[in-house]
A and B are shown apart, each in its own frame.
Chain A
Amino acid sequence: MDWGALQTILGGVNKHSTSIGKIWLTVLFIFRIMILVVAAERVWGDEQDDFICNTLQPGCKNVCYDHFFPISHIRLWALQLIFVSTPALLVAMHVAYRRHEKKRQFRKGDQKCEYKDIEEIRKQRFHIEGSLWWTYTSSIFFRLVFEAVFMYAFYFMYDGFRMPRLMKCNAWPCPNTVDCFVSRPTEKTVFTIFMIAVSSICILLNVAELCYLVTKFFLRRSKKAGNPKHHPNHENKEETKQNEMNELISDSCQNTVIGFSS
């Protein structure tokens, strides 16, 4: 169970996202998870082994390392990515529940059910409206909250986003004050700033998606209030076209994510 498995799980959710949601997912996988796995983990790989203190006192290095790095950047980012990607599963569960209900209707032979085949239900893409809209909006809200909380935790723990070269430590059993040197501080600063920048971009994308959903909701409401009688054939044609376009977009987005190796 690793990042590749998470990609498989979330790839399914992609089909029911908005275009901004699909962009967000691509940014998450390529610019955050992939960078974490192929680059950042190597930079932080020797963080404790190469953390050197100017003393021979046994235990001083361990204690000072623990004092300055209560939780490593890599682990914080891993937790952040896991928490930020899981609200999408709420949407997946809701879609699965809707599909289950439609399949039950189909099996009962309900005449209102417009599907010819159970395979069609499995492949169908649901519109983000009604209760699914609320689930989707909540998932975006939770994503935003988790991103903000982790960025704050980062800032709070490491007093800014810069990695200093030298730290002065006077925790027991270190005698008096001891100089401790961090391994690869500049490279770590570069990656920290990169991850913060991408995290901010993801926050902006989430905010934009939230605004888009809310605007679409109000537009739809005002349309319904203004046009109580609508032509079902015309609406079906528009929805069919939208479905086709979305299928095309989702296929092209899938192609950009395919080829990502864990």
Chain B
Amino acid sequence: MNWAGLYTVLSGVNRHSTAIGRIWLSVIFIFRIMVLVVAAESVWGDEKSAFTCNTQQPGCNSVCYDHFFPISHIRLWALQLILVTTPALLVAMHVAYQQHQEKKLLVLTGHGDPKHMEEVKKHKMRISGSLWWTYVCSVVFRLLFEAVFMYIFYMLYPGYQMVRLVKCEAYPCPNIVDCFISRPTEKTIFTVFMLVTSSICIVLNMAELVYLVVRACARRGQHNSNPPSGKGSFYGHKLSSEYKQNEINQLLTEQDGSLKDMLRRNPGLQEKGDRCSAC
């Protein structure tokens, strides 16, 4: 499992994201993960071996390095990127669950042929109803993780700048010892670059949040003034309301025979209009 594996997992989520979500994912993979892998890792590669202190006291080098770099930038960034990209998996799980429900319903209503099953797998889920809440939660978590990591970075490495010289007086160093950091300017450049891309990602997440909220309110306004006419995709449209979800849950927990009886008794069940509660 490496960054390529993560890319494969998240590419699937991409299909059900908004346009801003896709841009965010591209920025993450190209300007953060790729830059981390092809450039930043080699800059920090020799951070400990080239960390030199002006002393011959054994152990002083290690102690001073540990004192000034409790956790390396590279590892912090790797953790940040993993935590920031994983809330998207909540959406993936929810989509998989909804697709599973749709497939079950298709089988029960006699549309269980492979062609329909493939159609369920391929069609893009509308971000409405409970999926909207899951999506919004994932965006909020992303924002939270980004902010927390930027704060941790600021606390550990104040000013985001890497200095050339640090003065160390931890035991066993005698008195105060000058220690020199390797490639401080290059490290500062990359730190600033990663900070800027992190801020861009925060802005994109906030824009996506605002877009989702505005779209939800606009849809709600439309529903209040225009009762739904039952158009739209057969599957996504029918399943987007909680009322429909309750009916489906009831259908799915009963036996096959009684299910078919219920369908026979209520022929209009498939034709009822949509009543959206959270879209």
In the bound complex, residues from chain B placing their C-beta under 8 Å from that of A82 are 30-31, 34-35, 38
Given contacts A71-B185, A72-B186, contact A62 B30 (CB under 8 A): no
Contact B180 A74 (CB under 8 A): no
Q: Does A89 contact B (CB under 8 A)?
A: yes
Q: B184: which of A61, A66, A79, A97 is its contact (CB, 8 Å)?
A: A66
In the bound complex, residues from chain B placing their C-beta under 8 Å from that of A49 are 46, 50
Q: A173: which of B4, B6, B22, B178 is its contact (CB, 8 Å)?
A: B178
Contact A48 B46 (CB under 8 A): yes
Contact B183 A65 (CB under 8 A): yes
Q: Does B182 contact A (CB under 8 A)?
A: yes
Q: Does A75 contact B (CB under 8 A)?
A: yes
Q: Does A6 contact B (CB under 8 A)?
A: yes
Contact B4 A5 (CB under 8 A): yes
Q: Does A130 contact B (CB under 8 A)?
A: no
Contact A71 B33 (CB under 8 A): no
Q: Does A78 contact B (CB under 8 A)?
A: yes
**Which residues A31-79 have CB closer than 8 A to chain B?**
48-49, 57-59, 61-63, 65-66, 69-72, 74-75, 78-79
In the bound complex, residues from chain B placing their C-beta under 8 Å from that of A58 are 52-55, 178, 180
Given contacts A59-B165, A62-B164, contact A86 B30 (CB under 8 A): yes
Minimum distance in angstroms from A233 CB to a CB of chain B = 34
Q: CA of A29 to CA of B19 in the docked complex: distance in angstroms?
A: 28
Q: CA of A22 to CA of B7 in the docked complex: distance in angstroms?
A: 26
B79-92 Cβ-contact flags toward A at 8 Å (1 or 0): 00000000000000
Contact A79 B39 (CB under 8 A): yes
Q: Does A2 contact B (CB under 8 A)?
A: yes
Instruction: Look across to chain B and name the residue whose beta carbon is closest to the beta carbon of A172.
Output: B165
Q: Does B152 contact A (CB under 8 A)?
A: no
B1-39 Cβ-contact flags toward A at 8 Å (1 or 0): 001101100000000000100110010011101110111
Q: B54: which of A79, A89, A107, A173 is its contact (CB, 8 Å)?
A: A173
Minimum distance in angstroms from B39 CB to a CB of chain A = 5
Contact A59 B186 (CB under 8 A): no
Q: Does A1 contact B (CB under 8 A)?
A: yes
Instruction: Look across to chain A and name the residue whose beta carbon is closest to the beta carbon of B8.
Output: A5
Minimum distance in angstroms from A116 CB to a CB of chain B = 17
Instruction: Look across to chain B and name the residue whose beta carbon is closest to the beta carbon of A81.
Output: B38
Q: Does B189 contact A (CB under 8 A)?
A: yes
Q: Does B181 contact A (CB under 8 A)?
A: yes
Q: Does A191 contact B (CB under 8 A)?
A: no
Q: Does A217 contact B (CB under 8 A)?
A: no
Q: CA of A89 to CA of B3 in the docked complex: distance in angstroms?
A: 20
Q: Does A3 contact B (CB under 8 A)?
A: yes
Minimum distance in angstroms from A208 CB to a CB of chain B = 26
Q: CA of A2 to CA of B185 in the docked complex: distance in angstroms?
A: 24
Q: Does B245 contact A (CB under 8 A)?
A: no
A70-106 Cβ-contact flags toward B at 8 Å (1 or 0): 1110110011001000100100010001000000000
In the bound complex, residues from chain A placing their C-beta under 8 Å from that of B179 are 59
Instruction: Look across to chain A and name the residue whose beta carbon is closest to the beta carbon of B124.
Output: A100
Q: Does B42 contact A (CB under 8 A)?
A: yes
Residue picked from A2, A6, A49, A62, most chain B C-beta under 10 Å = A62
Contact A59 B182 (CB under 8 A): no
Contact B7 A1 (CB under 8 A): yes
In the bound complex, residues from chain A placing their C-beta under 8 Å from that of B3 are 1-2
Given contacts A6-B30, A62-B164, A75-B39, contact A1 B184 (CB under 8 A): no
Contact A2 B189 (CB under 8 A): no
Q: B42: which of A61, A75, A93 is its contact (CB, 8 Å)?
A: A75
Q: CA of A9 to CA of B27 in the docked complex: distance in angstroms?
A: 13
Minimum distance in angstroms from B190 CB to a CB of chain A = 8
Instruction: Look across to chain B and name the residue whose beta carbon is closest to the beta carbon of A9.
Output: B30
In the bound complex, residues from chain B placing their C-beta under 8 Å from that of A57 are 54
In the bound complex, residues from chain B placing their C-beta under 8 Å from that of A2 are 3-4, 34, 37-38
In the bound complex, residues from chain A placing their C-beta under 8 Å from that of B137 are none
In the bound complex, residues from chain B placing their C-beta under 8 Å from that of A6 are 30, 34
Q: CA of A70 to CA of B183 in the docked complex: distance in angstroms?
A: 7
Q: CA of A71 to CA of B193 in the docked complex: distance in angstroms?
A: 13
Q: CA of A86 to CA of B35 in the docked complex: distance in angstroms?
A: 13
Interface, chain A (partner B; CB < 8 A): 1-3, 5-6, 9, 48-49, 57-59, 61-63, 65-66, 69-72, 74-75, 78-79, 82, 86, 89, 93, 97, 107, 173
Interface, chain B (partner A; CB < 8 A): 3-4, 6-7, 19, 22-23, 26, 29-31, 33-35, 37-39, 42-43, 46, 50, 52-55, 164-165, 178-186, 189-190, 233
Excluding A2-B37, A62-B50, 6 further A-B contacts by CB distance (< 8 Å) are A69-B186, A70-B189, A78-B39, A86-B31, A173-B178, A173-B180
Listed from nearest, the 4 A-B pairs whose CB atoms lie closest are: A59-B180, A62-B180, A70-B185, A58-B54
